């Protein structure tokens, strides 16, 4: 569906200029496939940026979660604890492997998984003699979760952590880049992310053998013989050499994109400083968010709702989006167990994401701010 020329999108792609060089290189070499110099280069450059041992370039972040679960031996009859306040792609792969998701509520400071609810859930399962096979932890909107507390708890119960850092490339906790704390880290390069490969993802790990096995599974698990021989079920999950070329160009401007997204957030704070009814997602000491999206909640009992703001913005040709609907409230996961739930439900009821693209102009932000100020002054 086409939009007016002045339509402001939530988070559009932003090219840096060198992407075409790498893509043209792939055409020149005739490596228009799921192998080639760009795939290898993108993996090496991403791993080097993160300080990870290695990375596997995949077709999506969802594929990365799927393969991470397989790497940890998750299968039918197992449970995986998962943030409830996230996009459905975080939890769908748990069902791909035949396991059962158990959802954990958020805490109100970072909006990420609540350590208290997590410990309650783990104690409950320990008493039942049935600890989860893994924890799928999500860093929302670029904001790090409370990693110190969460890792202390999961280490005590010996539950491995998969970090879903799809929205958090370039974010740091206590100086360490997200996606490098758990057994495996997941990234997405969808068109709306801070950098993009048009569609794609990656799995990173400190364990080189885990990534080596992931690459093998992502290329249909072909055995190293001169004919097609398979002993294990594989998947067609490898990133294309063309898309990886886009990613290499995007990686070169990642730090600039982080600065630009953070500047967008700061601009909103200044432009909307007079609107006391808004509560912005904070950044605690030691937390560094890439500010993938600039988000707020409307204060409880306010005469203007977040949905009324969204509709007012849409009427002005501006895209805004509610915060994630908790997965335990989704019909898809009806009947799933959840520990807590009130915090994430409240965030969904009162929250909104504003246009946050790194190419967003100050003039566009002023358009957004003026609509919001008008709604509160009416």
Q: Can you give the chain as a three-state secondary structure string?
A: CCCCCCCECCCCCCCCCCHHHHHHHHHHHCCCCCCCHHHHHHHHHHHHHHCCCEEEEECCHHHHHHHHHHHCCCCCCCEEEEECCCCHHHCHHHHHCCCEEEEECECCCCCCECHHHHHHHHHHHHHHCCCCCEEEEECHHHCCCCHHHHHHHHHHHCCCEEEECCCCCCCEECCEECCCCCCEEEEECECCCCCCCECCEEEEECCHHHHHHHHHHHECCCCCCCCCCCCCCCCECECCHHHHHHHHHHHCCHHHHHHHHHHHHHHHHHHCCCCCCEEECCCCCCEECCCCCEEEEECCCCCCCHHHHHHHHHHCCECCEECCCCHHHCHHHCCCCEECCHHHHHHHHHEEEECCCCCCCHHHHHHHHHHHHHHHHC
Q: Is 245 a residue whose pLDDT tops 80?
A: yes
**Per-residue model confidence as pLDDT tens digits over 262-287:** 999 999 999 999 999 999 999 999 99
Q: What is the pLDDT of residue 1?
A: 59
Q: Is 5 a residue whose pLDDT tops 90?
A: no
**Per-residue model confidence as pLDDT tens digits over 355-364:** 999 999 999 9
**Per-residue model confidence as pLDDT tens digits over 16-45:** 999 999 999 999 999 999 999 999 999 999
The model's pTM: 0.96
Q: What is the pLDDT of residue 4?
A: 87
Q: Residue 193 catalytic?
A: yes
List the domains of the chain with CATH numbers: 19-253 (3.40.640.10), 255-377 (3.90.1150.10)
Q: Is 378 a residue whose pLDDT tops 90?
A: no
Q: Which residue in the list 5, 193, 299, 300 is annotated as catalytic? A: 193
Q: What is the pLDDT of residue 3?
A: 86
């Amino acid at each position: 569906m086409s939009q007016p020329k002045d339509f402001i999108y939530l988070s559009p792609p932003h090219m840096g200029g060198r992407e075409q060089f790498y893509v043209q290189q792939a055409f020149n070499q005739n490596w228009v496939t799921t192998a080639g110099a760009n795939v290898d280069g993108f993996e090496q450059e991403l791993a080097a940026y993160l300080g990870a041992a290695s990375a596997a370039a995949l077709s999506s972040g969802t594929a990365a979660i799927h393969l991470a679960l397989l790497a940890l031996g998750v299968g039918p009859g197992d449970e995986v604890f998962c943030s409830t306040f996230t996009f459905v792609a975080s939890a769908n792969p748990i069902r791909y492997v035949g396991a059962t998701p158990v959802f954990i509520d958020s805490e109100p400071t970072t909006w990420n998984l609540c350590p208290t609810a997590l410990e309650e859930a783990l104690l409950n399962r320990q008493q039942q003699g049935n600890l989860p096979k893994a924890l799928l932890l999500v860093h929302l909107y670029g904001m790090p979760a409370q990693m110190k507390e969460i890792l202390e708890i999961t280490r005590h119960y010996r539950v491995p952590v998969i970090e879903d850092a799809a929205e958090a490339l370039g974010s740091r906790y206590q100086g360490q880049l997200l996606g490098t704390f758990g057994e495996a880290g997941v990234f997405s390069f969808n068109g709306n992310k801070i950098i993009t490969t048009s569609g794609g993802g990656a799995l990173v790990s400190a364990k080189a053998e885990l990534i080596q096995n992931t690459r093998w599974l992502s290329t249909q698990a072909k055995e190293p013989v001169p004919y097609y021989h398979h002993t294990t079920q594989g998947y067609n999950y490898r990133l294309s050499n063309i898309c990886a070329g886009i990613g290499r160009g995007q990686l070169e401007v990642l730090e600039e994109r982080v600065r630009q997204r953070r500047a967008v957030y700061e601009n909103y704070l200044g432009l909307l400083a007079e609107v006391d009814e808004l509560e912005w997602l904070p950044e605690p000491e030691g937390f560094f968010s890439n500010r993938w999206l600039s988000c707020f909640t409307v204060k409880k009992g306010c005469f203007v709702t977040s949905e009324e703001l969204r509709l007012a913005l849409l009427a002005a040709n501006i895209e805004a989006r509610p915060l994630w609907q908790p997965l335990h409230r989704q019909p898809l996961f009806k009947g799933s167990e959840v520990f807590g739930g009130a915090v994430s439900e409240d965030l969904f009821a009162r929250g909104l994401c504003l246009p946050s693209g790194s190419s967003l102009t100050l003039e566009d932000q002023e358009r957004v701010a003026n609509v919001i100020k008008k709604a509160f002054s009416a």
